[in-house]
Amino acid sequence: MRFCDSKLRLLQTAHELIWRQSYGSVGVDQICEQSRVKKGSFYHFFRSKSELTVAAYEFRWDQIRLALDRIFSTQVPPLERLEAYFANIRRNQTEHFLKNGRVLGCPFASLGSELSTQDEAIRLMAQQISERKCRYLETTLRDAMEAEDIPRQDPKLLAQELHFYVVGLVQEAKISNNLAVLDRMESGAYRIIGATRAEVA
């Protein structure tokens, strides 16, 4: 069994198209065409459009994980990890804005927001990825408290609140199709966690 890149191409383009457009507006035919894969092959690898989507987004998450593991390395001072995380989001959104002329927002949040009332598998996937993102933030905040960079408090709850803020901000950047919104990530984030900007700069 040689390495099958038809399947990989399907995963890749499915995520790409659905992120750029939406789940509902992307058809199986469109995914197949752009992947240069015929329908028969599609349904050889996946049982449904929904199943492909879950696989595609989990595949994408595995890639993002690599970047996040580097960004949230415990070798880096905690507040610098946050800075790098924010910078990464901004860089990512900017890249796709230049490519598509649109702020695409967070793919997981957008998909979850569109389908969480309709497709339980997709909802669960979006939820789990959200929780994993929170876990990066949680350990970072715990380390920041340990280093007395920020006031002590429940790190898990604080991480979630920070995550809510970031996710909301990115969504608003998408809706207003305006990258400048992202420049406000730090100011609000530091307010939430109780860090002064001086401690960061």
Binding site for DNA (CB under 7 A): 1-2, 4, 6-7, 26-30, 37-44, 47-50
Structure tokens that stand for 98 in this block: 């230049």
**Closer CB to its own copies, 63 or 176, in the complex:** 176
R_g over Cα of the chain: 18
**Closer CB to its own copies, 7 or 13, in the complex:** 13
CA distance 136 to 162: 11
- Smallest separation, CB 62 to DNA (Å): 19
Task: List interacting residues with its own copies (CB under 8 A).
Answer: 20-25, 100, 102, 104-105, 109-110, 112-118, 123, 126-127, 130, 157, 160-161, 163-169, 171-172, 174-177, 184, 187-188, 191-192, 194
Name the binder of 63 from its own copies, DNA, none, CB < 5-8 A by kind: none
Name the binder of 28 from its own copies, DNA, none, CB < 5-8 A by kind: DNA
Find where tokens 């933030």 sit. 137
Contact partners, residue 158, CB within 8 Å, separation at least 6: 138, 141, 192, 193
Torsion angle (degrees, nearest 10) of CA 130, 131, 135, 137 = 40
